[in-house]
Structure 1
Amino acid sequence: MTTAVSAPAERRAPGSDATDSGAPHGYADELSAVLIDGATLQAKIAELAAAVAADHHLDTPPLLVCVLKGAVMFVTDFARALPIPAELEFMAVTSYGSATSSSGVVRILKDLDRDITGRRVIIVEDIIDSGLTLSWLLKNLATRGPAAIDVVALLRKPEAVKVDIEVDYVGFDIPNEFVVGYGLDYDERYRDLPFVGLLGEHMYR
């Protein structure tokens, strides 16, 4: 299930008179465009939740594995949109630091708190760019005896993918640009934005 995002909203130069989408949230002159607004995000999340529920055939509820920190906003809304019960688990892995692209080196910062043997595991990801971290995570969880592992990702950058991985449910394919908001950060900032936006290049270059 993949939906390509249309071209981003008209971009604005820092300091221009155009509407500054970041200003009401304390990020004046830091974003260049809104890529996906809040209403569009919520509509897509409801669609993804319905698809995941329709494919669930086990007696036990699906176990949603949220990949911290970026997916926390997504998993919260996704769990509430699911028309079936679900359980939540959290993992924290890192391959980014404060860089704008994946290092390819993965470390577990927080592991799961329970056994996943025989469970349908749904990895909930905010964004897939290189795919290196997700590929590693899939292999790691597969060794723990789940009945199935699926992936639901809100965003994917097809041009940035470096490894061949199967992603079962994708909300939006987006351009290979640096995006923030709705859990996505740059150096721990912007996670609190209620939309996905493009970070102005002057903020990280």
Structure 2
Amino acid sequence: MSKIKERISRAEVDARIKELGKQISQDYADTGVHLVCILKGAFMFMSDLAKELTCPVTVDFMAVSSYEDQMESTGIVKIVKDLDGSIEGKHVLVVEDIIDSGRTLHYLMEILEKRNPKSLRLAAFLDKEPRRVVPVNVSYYGFKIEDFFVLGYGLDYKQMYRNLPFIGEMES
């Protein structure tokens, strides 16, 4: 088993999510928000974030894949699980674990925009901006990070390490 170096502590995660919760609650105080959690990686972030929201909240889930057990995106995006309900006329906030190249999120946001939400914004737990290839408009982010392979707090390596309560980096 590889050694995991902690890069963002659980305390830092909790503090930042509280801040995001306040900001998002203020922004959607009058309208409420429909959270769309991108599975599997964003499940912990969305769960903790939703608990901090004081505005009306509804939730749905979507799964897309572009990694196929690789450490880098294949560039081919597949919808593995679509939304259960319509987002037409709703204030939608897509909740994602990490933005890397931006390809997956760019594609996903284009698909969702065609479904006529009242508004469509993005909250990403981690923003790896140095790797961006395709522009993505991030309304809310937890942390901007350098270019290293992250895991923990919902993010995995070959489906493992999602349960770690912090963001880590695998050391060789």
CA distance in structure 2 between the partners assigned to 1:89 and 1:152 by the alignment: 15
- Structure-2 residue corresponding to 1:43: 15
Q: 1:83-115: per-residue Cα shift (whole Å, max 9, x none)? A: 222111000000001111111111011000111
2-side partners of 1:83 and 1:115: how far apart? 23
CA distance in 2, matches of 1:73, 1:39: 15
Question: Unaligned stretches of 5+ in structure 1?
Answer: 1-26
Letter in 1 for 2:126: L
For the pair shown, the structure with the greater C-alpha radius of gyration is 1
Structure 2 equivalent of residue 85 of structure 1 = 56
Residue number in structure 2 paired with 1:143: 114
Q: Return the TM-score normalized by structure 1.
A: 0.81
Inter-partner Cα distance in structure 2 for 1:109 and 1:198: 27
Deviation at 1:158, TM superposition (A): 1.1
Cα distance in structure 2, aligned partners of 1:46 and 1:146:
26
CA distance in 2, matches of 1:184, 1:135: 20
CA apart distance, 1:30: 2.2
Matches within 5 A, 1:181-200: 181-200=152-171
- Give the structure 2 partner of residue 22 of structure 1: none
Q: Per-residue deviation at 1:138?
A: 0.4
Higher share of residues assigned strand: 2
List per-residue Cα deviations over 1:162-191 (Å, max 9, x = no partner): 111110011111110001000000000000
Q: TM-score, normalised by structure 2?
A: 0.96
Check if 1:65 corresponds to 2:36: yes
Partner of 1:129: 100
Q: Which amino acid aligns with 1:121?
A: V
Q: How many residues align?
A: 172
Aligned to 2:138: 167
Q: What RMSD over aligned residues (CA atoms) do the two structures have, in Å? A: 1.1
- How many Å separate the matches in 2 of 1:101 and 1:180? 13
2:3 corresponds in structure 1 to 30
Alignment check: 8 A CA contact 2:29 2:55 kept: no
1:17 aligned residue: none
Q: What letter is aligned with 2:3?
A: E
The letter for the 1-side match of 2:26 is A
